[in-house]
Chain A
């Protein structure tokens, strides 16, 4: 008779194990490593490991002059490069009490909003791709390309523009700028309906996003989740409304708030925000006043000794720039409060108890850009 051997059988369901998502993973959109503890396919907890592309921008700033620092800010959140530039320029202008010409304010507001649309388009196409809809990727990139063409014609570059300088702009806009922006708005008003038909109304997409990754408004405030992700939870955090700069206190637009706090709410906020951005551009594009494209600035910019803080609404949330100046041409200490860094800190909280497949949808809806986390 054969001897029966009882092998110890482990129950795989009960065992917790760890999975590395990243550093190279398509859904992290960059080099971010998430160590995910799983039980079955349920996420127990998650630890983000950042720093793979930390470049020490804050340290570099201590050696650079303010006009040079503007170029470094492009490299943080490269998808809202103009808005990052705007933060540093506003900080210098407010510290030196310089009135920039009206023309500059108009152009900056229009370009910021174009940048926001371009950024949300790229988010939309990659979000669709994360959920398995590859068509979205082509639709989104096709339309974003049109904005990049406008940027290229006026500013000479497509991604990292450094178009704003303290006091104004690098050069005036191209004569075609207004015409092409108006053409784009007309074109995109039609195309955004296609976006809704293709993805928003899609039942598979709704099943995967509704009720997934819920962030309550209290948690959004506590974690400092700002931008469309925070507003999807009902956290009124639009800097353009609460601390207006440039032309934002003179144009009519709505702060989009949803109260569900799930992935779908964060998705919808961005879809509505693109429409609000178009509304802002339409109010300004025909009324750009004539005038200089820059205020008169000294060759060497020195901020008076003291502390300055500037907040702007970047495409992913609130960007803060904190400067301690000792009166020299370089800052003594420069700190960037980047929106993605705070938004990422909530990822562990909102993905707990969900499935690992939902983590991709949640990460997509937070829309993180890794260089902005690492700086």
Chain B
């Protein structure tokens, strides 16, 4: 499916969704509470069949926190990017997608560890790299750590 039909298809599933386009991907910005339902549809509809989550990243955009999902269909070989934005910097939370794509399990733990975004209904929401007693989340833009030098 090419990007134009893909765009129309997603807009049919989620009317009024905001989108961006660049040379590589089309990107949809999804409200946090609708992400899980949409993800299920994206995976299960035969002509979409997005079964391969090849990247899951967290981003601190200062005004909001963002989770970026890069998806590909191994059947049709089309790609799509989804973004979920959270405006609450203190307690950002998104719904987990690790029941849909199992690889999200580790990636979501990484995002939680380094950016402090929690994922609701995740089976094992612990830090994955840093020590359990670590204070703060290093990839945040306002992170200051005087003891452990990470600044260059």
A interface residues with partner B (beta carbon < 8 Å): 50-51, 54, 56, 58-60, 63-64, 219, 221-224, 235-237, 242, 306-309, 311, 318, 320, 322, 324, 333, 335, 337, 341-342, 344-346, 349, 374
Contacts and interface: CB of A to CB of B under 8 A. Distances in A.
Tell me the interface secondary structure of chain A in the complex: mixed
Interface residues of B toward A: which range? 20 to 34
A309 B55 CA distance: 10
Given A342-B103, A342-B106, A224 B53 contact: yes
Given A51-B128, A58-B139, A224-B101, 20 more contacts: A50-B128, A51-B127, A54-B130, A56-B150, A59-B138, A63-B151, A222-B103, A224-B53, A236-B74, A237-B74, A309-B70, A320-B54, A320-B70, A322-B68, A324-B59, A333-B57, A341-B106, A341-B110, A342-B106, A345-B102
A344 B54 contact: no
Contacts, number: 83
Given A59-B138, A322-B57, A222 B74 contact: no
Given A51-B128, A64-B152, A374-B129, A242 B77 contact: yes
B130 A222 contact: no
A311 B77 CA distance: 14
Contacts of B114: 58
Interface in B75-107: 77, 101-103, 105-107
Tell me the interface secondary structure of chain B in the complex: loop
A235 B52 CA distance: 11
A361 B127 CA distance: 28
Contacts of B68: 322
Contacts of B53: 224
B127 to A, nearest CB: 8
B54 A307 contact: no
A235 B103 CA distance: 15
B54 A345 contact: no
B50 to A, nearest CB: 11
Interface string B62-80: 0000001010001001000
27 contacts: A50-B129, A51-B127, A51-B130, A51-B131, A58-B139, A59-B138, A60-B150, A63-B152, A221-B52, A221-B74, A224-B52, A224-B54, A224-B101, A307-B27, A308-B24, A309-B24, A311-B54, A318-B54, A322-B57, A333-B57, A335-B55, A335-B57, A337-B54, A337-B57, A345-B102, A345-B103, A345-B105
